[in-house]
Chains A and B, each alone.
Chain A
Amino acid sequence: MKLSLRWVALLRDERGLAHEELDWPGGDLAALYAELRKRHGFSLPPERVLVALNEEFAQWTDEPRPGDEVVFLPPVAGG
């Protein structure tokens, strides 16, 4: 399935992209981050990352559907 990935902050720097379309065989968001972390060498372990699906906070056990937008959120630093 095709997923739309948006990269922000530190993860955008480490990925070197702001957006991409990804072919993903399926599985939950934890598996997706694990695969992409291995592929791109992200420094942040999953316990320091949150995940958003279609502009709402999601759970690592959620499984994205075709066309969904996924954003992995590095530790926030507002204020």
Chain B
Amino acid sequence: MSNFQLQDGALDEGQLAAELVHAGAGALVGFAGRVRNHHEGRPVLALDYEALDALCRKEGARVLDEALQRFPVMAVRCVHGLGHMEPGDCAVWVGVLAVHRREAFTAASWIIDEVKRRLPIWKCEHYADGTRQWVNCLACAHGTEDSHV
């Protein structure tokens, strides 16, 4: 099983953290990316995530392999949810085990940044006024950055 996975629907943060165990690890840093109920001042009712599955799995595995090369950590894992989600749902989870906390925080931060920057995943926001929009695509079409971390 790859340490990177795609899953239908929202993630169970507690279960993911409980599964990441090593007796020699003094630190577990888990990052949960949750669906917000607003975007640029507009109420968001729901999101739909989609991925280019095969390429996404390959690139996700590469990110985690690179993290293990870059940082002195013991284990890394990332799961991204796909499909329909609502505010409060956990859409992405990153977990890092290390002997001490500092390298675990650093690696987890690096992994989520790379995941957001590199993985072929898209999200469509559904707003309270009945409209929808692919995030990052409208402003990009006009040549400006629209990155929401």
Q: Which A48-79 residues sit within 8 Å CB-CB of chain B?
A: 48, 50, 52, 55-57, 71, 73-79
How would residues 77 to 118 of chain B score, 1 for a CB under 8 Å from any chain A CB and 0 otherwise? 000100000000001100000000000000000001001111
* Interface of B (DSSP majority class): mixed
Q: How far is the CA of A71 from the CA of B49 in the complex (A)?
A: 17
**Number of cross-chain contacts by CB at 8 Å:** 85
| Interface of B toward A, CB cutoff 8 Å | 33, 49-52, 54-55, 58-59, 80, 91-92, 112, 115-124, 134-137, 140-141, 143, 146, 149
Count class of interface residues, chain A:
20 to 34
- Cβ–Cβ < 8 Å partners of A76 in chain B: 116-122, 136
Q: Which residues of A come within 8 Å of B, CB atoms?
A: 6, 8-10, 13, 43-45, 47-48, 50, 52, 55-57, 71, 73-79
Name the A residues within 8 Å of B121 (CB-CB). Answer: 76-79
| Given A48-B141, A52-B55, A8-B112 contact (CB < 8 Å) | no
